[in-house]
A and B are shown apart, each in its own frame.
Chain A
Amino acid sequence: NAGVTQTPKFQVLKTGQSMTLQCAQDMNHNSMYWYRQDPGMGLRLIYYSASEGTTDKGEVPNGYNVSRLNKREFSLRLESAAPSQTSVYFCASSVWGSGELFFGEGSRLTVL
Chain B
Amino acid sequence: SQELEQSPQSLIVQEGKNLTINCTSSKTLYGLYWYKQKYGEGLIFLMMLQKGGEEKSHEKITAKLDEKKQQSSLHITASQPSHAGIYLCGADGRTDKLIFGTGTRLQVFP
Instruction: List chain B residues, Cβ under 8 A from A97.
Output: 92, 96
Instruction: List chain A residues, Cβ under 8 A from B102.
Output: 40-42
- With known contacts A97-B96, A99-B33, A43–B43 Cβ distance under 8 A: yes
Residue of chain B at shortest CB distance from A88: B40
- A residues near B, CB below 8 A? 4, 31, 33, 35, 40-45, 48, 50, 56, 58-59, 90, 92, 94, 96-97, 99-106
Instruction: List chain A residues, Cβ under 8 A from B96.
Output: 31, 48, 50, 96-97
Whether the pair A42, B43 counts as a contact (CB closer than 8 A) is: no
Interface residue count for B (Cβ, 8 Å)?
A: 25
Residue of chain A at shortest CB distance from B32: A99
Inter-chain CA distance A43–B16, complex, in Å, is 29
Whether the pair A43, B88 counts as a contact (CB closer than 8 A) is: yes
Instruction: List chain B residues, Cβ under 8 A from A35.
Output: 100
CB under 8 Å from chain A, chain B span 90-105? 90, 92, 96-103
Asked if B52 is at the interface (CB within 8 A of a chain A CB), the reply is: no
Inter-chain CA distance A99–B4, complex, in Å, is 16
Residue of chain A at shortest CB distance from B47: A100
- With known contacts A33-B98, A41-B102, A43-B88, A99–B31 Cβ distance under 8 A: yes
- With known contacts A50-B96, A99-B48, A106–B42 Cβ distance under 8 A: yes
